[in-house]
Amino acid sequence: MNEKKARNSLAYGFASPIAGAALGVILGLAIYDIFDTFEQWTVAILIALLGISIWIGANKSGEALAYFKKSGELSAAKGAANLNSILAIVWMAISFFVSFTMAMGAVNSFVERPDYDGREPYNPADYTVAFDSTIFVGEFLPAVVIVAMAMFGFVFQLVATSKDED
């Protein structure tokens, strides 16, 4: 890798997470405006888009960092690698929170409560739990996919920023 390629990698390392976040916001707003709803799979796709952009940024900044380690100019390359590391940590935390919230909503959707029509005494524990495949695929499975993305994505990000010289 020459210096020009390293500087291009450095630029991609800084720009990729920003471009991915901007694209995700625009795409999310467009989906909401067009369909007037925001489904769980849409959230999973937008989180994946942001994760991929952070991974690309980490990969490119790792390439630049490996080159600039041997040349002695580390400040900007270290900054890009640190930026992507911090963004990956924040992305992972948000992904886990969103996934947990989605999973709790999905588990609550499996519970069927009887209608309260004024009968006495009211028993709040009078409910049944029924498995519904549409709830599982539409609400619970996206939460599992987001957790998997967060786990593997953070590891991939760490590997991407710790490259050796080419």
**Mean pLDDT of each 10-residue bin along the chain, 166 residues long:** 85 92 94 89 93 90 85 80 89 94 91 74 76 91 94 81 62
Token pair of 154, please? 């953070």
CA 140 to chain centre: 16
Q: What is the reported pLDDT for 160? A: 75
The whole model's pTM is what? Answer: 0.83
> pLDDT value at position 163?
65
Q: What is the pLDDT of residue 142?
A: 94
71: number of Cβ within 10 Å: 10
Residues in the chain: 166
Check: CB of residue 91 under 8 Å from CB of residue 153.
yes
Bridge partners for 128 per DSSP: 112
pLDDT at 26: 95
